[in-house]
Amino acid sequence: MSTIPSQEATSLHPEIIERIRGLMPKEEHILDLADLFKLFADSTRVRILFALTKAELCVYDLAALLGVSQSAVSHQLRLLRNAKLVKNRREGKIVYYSSDDYHVDIVMNIALEHLKEEKGSSAEDLE
């Protein structure tokens, strides 16, 4: 994913490019952003995030709800935990997970809005 492109490109509008270059976020921040969105880019994780904004659930509950293995859920929860999108607390043997970030709900809803508008043009069923 990182070899030197041999088909290099030279800008057609160098002045504009220079101006934009000054406005771009630092590469580090771009990577962080992409990494964060990667977490929303998988249907299993989206469903986990959705469920956890509605209730505090244990791993087995999530596995049953989503119809995937306990292991798969656990692996995904670790990713979400590392990014501080979900938190957990232990009660005896059971570990309860819940949403740890109000942004999640907001972002999800904005995304759903975009989808509505996008499909709206072709006047499909939206419900």
Complex with DNA: residue 81 or 101, whichever CB lies closer: 81
Binding site for DNA (CB under 7 A): 1-7, 12, 38, 41-42, 44, 58-60, 68-72, 74-79, 88, 90, 92-96
**How many Å apart are CA 119 and CA 61, to the nearest integer?**
33
Is-contact 84 100, C-beta < 8 A?
Answer: yes
Is-contact 59 97, C-beta < 8 A?
Answer: yes
| 90: contact with a copy of itself by CB under 8 A | no
65 binds, among a copy of itself, DNA, none (CB under 5 to 8 A by kind): a copy of itself
Cα separations in angstroms, 123 against 6, 25, 70, 99, 120 = 44, 37, 39, 34, 5
| 46: contact with a copy of itself by CB under 8 A | yes
Is-contact 116 84, C-beta < 8 A?
Answer: no
Q: Which residues bind a copy of itself (CB under 8 A)?
A: 5-13, 16-17, 19-21, 23-26, 29-34, 36-38, 40-43, 45-47, 50-51, 54-55, 57-58, 60-61, 63-65, 67-73, 83-84, 94, 101, 103, 106-108, 110-115, 117-118, 127
